[in-house]
Chains A and B, each alone.
Chain A
């Protein structure tokens, strides 16, 4: 089985935010919630890089480890998903997540944050694939339709790669070898405890 991962080639990302928009539209993500975002490091200075970041679907995911109600699960593809029916909105996953992926309808914990929302790798949730119930809670389930996440699929510079970790790592390694530089697979060391080809 493939181990699905995201890889953002920071030397290709032009900060067009199309991935952000595509994600919001595809899943009808509510106002105030961003499953994906583009962060620009060293803005306006030499060496500026933009990185598109969402849930990295970590190995040994910190969110799943700290969840008091154990609402997370990892699919056979290595995608980290969660059940909004079980989530109590405590907010601990946000503090544990190295990538700021978990989002909540409301900020405060007093009253309630509401159910956590995050990138599903376009793979829905625990409900039956591509049902209305699944769509309402988690958005569309492209993976079940044999498609990859829309953010990466429509990336104009092909900076954002999604797919089997080994294959996208190989694509990235080839790019780095060909052009002679690369700023690394952002987040991989923290998410998967490994780097692209050393």
Chain B
């Protein structure tokens, strides 16, 4: 702040000096110029100020609202450009692109079946607490995602269909939902972090998973523990991305109160919130696909919490070994072992 004031002072001195030099010649020419068309004034100092300050012009106000002391913030125009085009391009490519990729993937690969077929025997994969954390995050994320996309793309996509009054009513409702559901969403993120972080630390098995394309390309079934490398990526995207979205979101809900206490900080928070959310939405679309339509037997993991033993052996072989050796669900294997060996 002090630097800006000093520079402002220096700029004004420079302007006054510059005008002073111009003044020496002015009296002789001014009346003549006035008689003709209005002559161009000396180089406008606002331009010089901008060039010199490279940023906001601030001063003093006598009203209580001290944020009003910011006279001009040209960065508002950059925010306009970001909001109107940059963000829409990023969102369109991330979300739209992911949808296109998923459709193509489905057409090429179809639903990934259990190679050995369902065994008919199930194994506990996620307990009640795990599923609660997942669905708490998932259900709120869907509402947050839709209402958030509405703020970004609703004006182009929904407003022409709904009309101004209905669209405003829907958007206002969406805004309230977006604000309040942020709390359970944040809780869900925190729960998942605590429950699953021990299973999501990188390991050597992950390299092998990546090397074999995760089994998405080709029909290989790389070994994996409770979570394979792809799921670990989802986990960290959700936890880290979700945390970033939560922090920037709360900054927006309580503007100028913490972390971002100035205009530049607020603009940055909104931009980060938008970009990270759009990328996370794209990632989650892929997650939803592979957890439902894309893979036979996958949904049960988060549905009933129990997965088919053959599915588990194909996708999480090391985890199944751990579970069996640990004695949990120990009654199941005797019959399933031979059936699964085909």
Interface residues of A (CB under 8 A from B): 17, 20, 32, 34, 37-43, 45-47, 49-51, 53, 62, 65-71, 83, 85-92, 95-100, 107-112, 170, 172-174, 176-178, 180-190, 195-198
Contact = CB atoms under 8 A, between A and B. Distances in A.
Task: Place the interface of chain B in its size category.
Answer: 35 or more
Contacts of B155: 67-70
16 contacts: A20-B63, A41-B12, A41-B58, A53-B72, A62-B79, A66-B79, A83-B164, A86-B168, A88-B171, A178-B34, A180-B19, A185-B46, A187-B72, A190-B72, A190-B74, A198-B41
Interface in B60-94: 60-65, 67-77, 79-80, 83-84
Contacts of B8: 41-42
Nearest to B156: A70
B39 interface: yes
A123 B254 CA distance: 32
A133 to B, nearest CB: 16
A198 to B, nearest CB: 5
B26 to A, nearest CB: 4
A107 B252 CA distance: 11
A148 B9 CA distance: 35
A172 B39 CA distance: 11
B167 interface: yes
B259 interface: no
B46 A186 contact: yes
A83 B167 CA distance: 13
Given A98-B76, A184-B44, A69 B38 contact: no
Nearest to B65: A34
Interface stretch (B200-208, B262-270, B327-335): B262-270
B196 interface: no
Given A40-B60, A49-B12, A69-B167, 7 more contacts: A34-B65, A71-B164, A85-B168, A96-B83, A99-B76, A183-B44, A184-B47
A71 B155 CA distance: 10
Contacts of B263: 95
B159 A96 contact: no
Contacts of A195: 44, 46-47
B254 A110 contact: yes
Given A47-B12, A177-B34, A88 B71 contact: no
A31 to B, nearest CB: 10
Contact of A100 (B70, B172, B257, B270): B70
B16 interface: yes
A182 B38 CA distance: 14
Contacts of B266: 95
A93 B30 CA distance: 43
Given A42-B9, A185-B46, A186-B46, A173 B41 contact: yes
A183 to B, nearest CB: 4
Interface in B208-223: none
Contact of B9 (A45, A184, A185): A45
B195 interface: no
